[in-house]
Amino acid sequence: MSAAPAAQSANLPTSPEISSLTPEQTAASGSFWSANPISSFVLSTYKQVHDHRQSLSLTNPGTVENLNKEVSRDVFLSQYFFTGLRADLNKAFSLNPAFQTSHTFSIGSTTLPNYAFSALFADDNLFVQGNLDNDMSMSGRLNYGWNKNNISKVNLQIANGQPTMCQLEQDYQASDFSLNLKTLNPSFNAASGFSGVAVGSILQSITPQLSLGLELLYSKTQEGAPADAGVSYLSRFVSKKQDWIFSGQLQANGALITSFWRKVTPNVEAGIETSLQAGMIPITDPVMGTPIGIQPTIEGSTTIGAKYEYRQSVYRGTLDSAGKVACFLERKVLPTLSILFCGEIDHAKNESKLGCGLQFETAGNQELLMMQQGLDADGNPLQAPPQA
């Protein structure tokens, strides 16, 4: 007898059919799933939990990496600040799939190289980006989406005078939770086992507004040395109107980080972030100078910032509890030319920093050039010029 008739005679339901059957229907089918009391109990419990989750109308909470991105990336200017003089030349060759190159020149910067070249390619499933600077330091990342739920990521970095870095990452986005697994410089040895850094995190929606999560960290950087492990606790709350967001992190090293984001007006956003770090400092004898004990301490800092977004300019400004004031201004004077200005004054250290830059955006073909100027292929004005 062939396998197909045998399966038909057994009358076994498939996995989607099992999840849709009630316990009474499953028992009436006379299959193995109902005959076995353990599997019958598991299926019944799973269906009850699944139906309850569906009734809550939960949404995907986002990734742990973007837990407080509205404050740290959108409002604060840590991702944009630079010093010295800078010029960026971006050239887009196509939009779908997207392919563009970038040349960056800088003078007097302590963080940016004198010259850097980068290229980017992206379509519906693949994202590839590579960078090369004048010191022959290379970095790149590759993201591939297997489907709408699974994304694999690879980050590589080969820097002059620095250790090579390789990070492997897997993202899974479900309807009401996010799962992330990553490892940094992994190595497997039959004698010592795994060495490197491994991180696993999950963020689960409890209600349509509240999400809770955990992040597990395992680190073993040297053979023969003891491994380190820790657990971080995460939370994120989004208002019903999505006009304010609160997030909190209790990290494994004892640090507590909280942030609050508020959309004041359609063009104005504000954010505040507070961090507290618990630690120990040694106590020494004032006469002998020898250590006689330890004393617990708590150090903290608070940063407040705002973002103003207008039709042709974006302004960001921050002020922290240490007396540091910083600002960043991006002004688009032409459809293909933007002026960048950033400054920072540290009153506690009596230091100041300044950065100025130009950003050029050119097109690789006539169609993109017309779109950058707000015109269609026939030269007619567009309602909203797209961003190439």
Q: Per residue of the chain (388 residues), give pLDDT as tens.
A: 444 444 343 344 444 444 444 444 544 444 666 677 787 878 888 788 777 777 777 888 989 999 999 999 999 998 899 999 999 999 988 888 889 999 999 998 888 899 999 999 999 899 999 999 998 899 999 999 999 899 999 999 998 878 889 999 999 999 889 999 999 988 887 667 788 899 999 999 999 899 999 999 999 877 767 888 999 999 999 999 899 999 999 998 889 999 999 999 999 999 999 999 887 777 777 777 677 777 778 889 999 999 999 889 999 999 999 889 999 999 999 888 999 999 999 988 889 999 999 999 887 665 555 555 555 555 566 554 444 3
| Distance separating alpha carbons of residues 213 and 198, to the nearest angstrom | 17
pLDDT value at residue 24: 47
Which helix H or strand E contains 5, and what residues bound it?
helix 3-10
What is the distance between the alpha carbons of residues 125 and 131, in angstroms, rounded to a whole number? 21
CA distance 247 to 258: 6
Tokens of 228: 């380190």
Beta carbons of 127 and 101 less than 8 angstroms apart: no
* pLDDT, position 364: 64
Would you state the pLDDT for residue 308?
A: 96
pLDDT for residue 380:
62
pTM recorded for the entire structure: 0.77
Burial 245-276 (b: 16+ CB within 10 A, else e): bbbbbbbeeebbbbbbbbbeeeeebbbbbbbe
Query: Does residue 243 contact residue 261 with C-beta atoms inside 8 Å?
Result: no
At position 356, the amino acid (one-letter code) is C
Quick one: tokens of 319? 């002020």
Query: Which pLDDT does position 332 carry in this prediction?
Result: 92
CA–CA separation, 149 and 147 (whole Å): 5
Beta bridge partners of 353: 344
Cα→Cα distances 40→51, 53, 73, Å = 17, 20, 48
- State the virtual CA torsion across 258, 330, 120, 375 in degrees, nearest 10: 130
Q: What is the pLDDT of residue 18?
A: 44
pLDDT at 227: 83
Report which of 92, 111, 141, 71 is spatially closest to residue 304, judged by C-alpha positions: 71
Q: How far apart are CA 298 and CA 320, in angstroms?
A: 17
What residue type is 168 in one-letter code?
L
Domain ranges in the chain are 3-55, 69-372
Per-residue confidence (pLDDT) for residue 96, from 0 to 100: 81
* CATH dotted code for 69-372: 2.40.160.10
Sequence-ordered list of residues with C-beta below 8 angstroms from that of 383, at least 6 positions apart, any chain: none
